[in-house]
Structure 1
């Protein structure tokens, strides 16, 4: 294994009057253009009496960080400025924690730090606790001492130099009012004419927790691509009041609470302006960190338990929005679909029996109690109910059992491709004339690729699916033109809509950093996207399901049921979104 290459050290030397004397290091002459503030700080050091040396992290206007050292022997001597690009902060300290520990050096209280960082005292308290743990100290003074000793300081000072006037970092951060404008370090061509759009100092950061490796990487990559497509379209129109939007994604294992916590801590540490995620096993972890950060958090976890959490404690979770209806719609939706297909003559009325096989999903609730009651009212009986199924062999075993019982239909309660595929394959080894009704997993293109002809005739439902209307077709075509593949029929669409929802709220709010104003904007009105209509007027701030929660499709998202026909996804329920009728699966026994 070859050793890692040594970092490139850039250096410039300034004369006693601040003029450029020497440039060393590949790219230093280019980099200084974006580090003019850092160079000016070195000039101030050169004007001070006595010897001064200071090492620190410098964050430029594009949020890129370098580690710099300024050395000056006095106001009649030369000053050296050196820096290294793309460095990691020691001890696993995040960018936001670096802000906090820098302000601890100035002796600021949590309330004063919160005011400078535009966040809550509660959030700062959490950051301070994490800083102490990472540095292995027990007090704020100890953290400040380590920060000075190990140069865990970031400049420009977060919130400005006020209050740091007696410290070197404050002195060097304070512009001198009678300074002459220095000559440029390098020759630059004349600037092009400026547009009417104001200059941008900081992009709006969209913090995403999407898995791009592991079991559901394909789904996560779709979320990233669809989000980036929406961002590119927004930025092409000038961004949000002239400010571009930038996507920041942190990979994670959605089934690991530790990984989820690490990802959301990372996003909070980067001080993102909004957080978004798909579905997570331990959604509560994400809720807690998002609540501390206070920026809008839009997730698609489809968990009624999380909606109730927001409803019961709006003061803490008022920034959390579930942009799809809850999982409790799945059970009643299954029964309602079977009743519609039976009553319309599309499903043979040969049996009154239904079956449900549900996998393991922390905090999940497929509305099975409601489904049992609804089935009884509509002339069905749920005679086979398997819960908390886990492992490939267990899924295969239940597939064989359901085939032997031959109910009219079975709901395969798993969101994952492999679990659903195991059940279907085992069932089809000796199939019965039973309608197979899956949840979400077949929305992922890989499902049809792996299953091949065995997927034909399979029904599947989603609380948030991409429609087949003109709005959705235009999105699908733009996605295909951009990424050279077609999107799935669920989370790609919702990821695209989510960015547009946020963009609209940012544009209407007083400022993207005024989180309370952005959250209030999200609660107002109805947004029509490619996955339906989004309304967060309810106390739980969750999208509504049509027709299960409301008879009005203009304010809700249709609980779509697809059937795979000729390797295509065709909507068979509910009206007015149907585009095909139920087709008898080829694997049903003849006769």
Structure 2
């Protein structure tokens, strides 16, 4: 994390929302967030404040950047539902510093860069939100300057090293990546592979791999790190292809795989529908290959589409709801509220992020003081439904466990699941696991 990042540039000089809108006489109550939300957001000692969006007594707006329509809508709806549950909990406890929080949703649709720019400008300039969060960002970070210059903290789980690098290079202090970046996916899975091979849990049919990526920097980065790692392990890459999402007909790729069956199939396309299609088409004539799919199986839509073909599939997320008491309480709450099961990543992540911000804003004493809120965020070790949030000093990115730290109380768990009997079984890392790796039926 921070020790692996380039040195930070000069701090960006900007006029912040704090300079434009100030609320006086507010003080937060510090506390430790451990799963629940009870009473730690505090209340103001006085009602004094300046006029405007940051004045005391008015609602505090919190922005959500999410694809609630379009091909990524399954994930976007998870984000919105998680954020709404968090705000409901916060307001039930008296709000932030005695003020209610209101969610403002910015739909980025098909995730075209111009959509992110327009949403950022709307949230910062027109809606005047105190902070914003979201599951995705642009790969170029083109919208980051709007949040940095506007003094609006942005929290995201885009899992992209390029986003972290942009924050470090430009000395931005109010943008936080709330999950570890994508290279950890490949390196973490390689460690698991080696462990299964050494223990005899899995004997590869051959030391060969087929790697398939979508043609975006996130997927390509994971695929690249994976190929490099496999080659160091003495493996051969027999197939590498990039596809454009959404992608439904996997016939050409599966034909090549069946003509030269690899020991491992590693797919870094992360769209749930794409991956479900791959699993179903692969299951019709499987090869003696372990099948890994990237992130997409965390979305409930995947299981609905893939059915029994999902059994045996392995997938990972660097941020996901844990199967412990805290995570199970959240899942029950989500089911009761929406009548459907929560996904295993973004619903819990956005639920946590809104509450993390609320605690930091309370400690800062002013939810519209970007600098103070950002300092409070960096000082937090926050335990949410997905695990522990703790940020690198320079890169403002979540630190992964067990990849970078060996203490689960100090890092975000990198979760690896295997689908068994149409159930999501967490097989790594301890102590969060609720099952073990099993050879898929086709092996």
TM-score, normalising length: structure 2: 0.84
Displacement after TM superposition at 1:438 (Å): 0.6
Is 2:53 aligned against 1:204?
no
Structure 1 gap segments, 5+ residues each: 1-109, 120-158, 162-198
Q: 2:183 aligns with which of 309, 328, 333?
A: 328
Distance 1:240 1:359 in 2: 41
Distance 1:393 1:241 in 2: 49
Change in Cα spacing, 1:414 to 1:312, as seen in structure 2 (3 Å) is: same
Q: 1:560 aligns with which of 403, 415, 434?
A: 415
Distance 2:58 2:204 in 1: 62
Change in Cα spacing, 1:116 to 1:405, as seen in structure 2 (3 Å) is: same
Q: How does 1:276-315 map to 2 (within 5 A)?
A: 276-282=133-139, 284-314=141-171
Who is 1:264 aligned against?
120
Displacement after TM superposition at 1:500 (Å): 1.1
Is 2:91 aligned against 1:231?
no
Is 2:47 aligned against 1:218?
no
Distance 2:245 2:323 in 1: 34
Change in Cα spacing, 1:210 to 1:113, as seen in structure 2 (3 Å) is: closer
Change in Cα spacing, 1:326 to 1:495, as seen in structure 2 (3 Å) is: same
Q: Which moved more, 1:295-304 or 1:273-282?
A: 273-282
Change in Cα spacing, 1:114 to 1:298, as seen in structure 2 (3 Å) is: closer
Is 2:364 aligned against 1:509?
yes
Q: 1:251 aligns with which of 101, 107, 112?
A: 107
Change in Cα spacing, 1:507 to 1:426, as seen in structure 2 (3 Å) is: same
Q: 1:474 aligns with which of 326, 329, 352?
A: 329
Residue aligned with 1:366, SS? helix
Q: How does 1:293-442 map to 2 (within 5 A)?
A: 293-314=150-171, 317-362=172-217, 365-387=220-242, 389-390=244-245, 392=247, 395-442=250-297
Displacement after TM superposition at 1:218 (Å): 2.0
Alpha-carbon contact 1:329-1:366 (below 8 Å) kept? no
Residue aligned with 2:221, SS? coil
Displacement after TM superposition at 1:383 (Å): 3.6
Who is 1:134 aligned against?
none
Displacement after TM superposition at 1:229 (Å): 0.8
Q: How does 1:1-80 map to 2 (within 5 A)?
A: none
Change in Cα spacing, 1:276 to 1:376, as seen in structure 2 (3 Å) is: same
Displacement after TM superposition at 1:332 (Å): 1.5
Displacement after TM superposition at 1:320 (Å): 0.5
| 1:535-582 deviation per Cα after TM superposition (whole angstroms, max 9, x unaligned) | 113311000122222222221112111111121110112222222122
Alpha-carbon contact 1:209-1:276 (below 8 Å) kept? yes
Distance 1:521 1:434 in 2: 47
Alpha-carbon contact 2:334-2:341 (below 8 Å) kept? yes
Alpha-carbon contact 1:301-1:322 (below 8 Å) kept? yes
- Bigger Rg, structure 1 or 2: 1
Who is 2:10 aligned against?
none
Distance 2:109 2:94 in 1: 35
Displacement after TM superposition at 1:286 (Å): 2.5
Alpha-carbon contact 2:389-2:411 (below 8 Å) kept? yes
Structure 2 gap segments, 5+ residues each: 1-13, 24-49
Who is 1:96 aligned against?
none
| 1:405-431 deviation per Cα after TM superposition (whole angstroms, max 9, x unaligned) | 222221110110222133323323321
TM-score, normalising length: structure 1: 0.64
Residue aligned with 2:107, SS? coil
Residue aligned with 1:501, SS? helix
Distance 1:160 1:327 in 2: 43
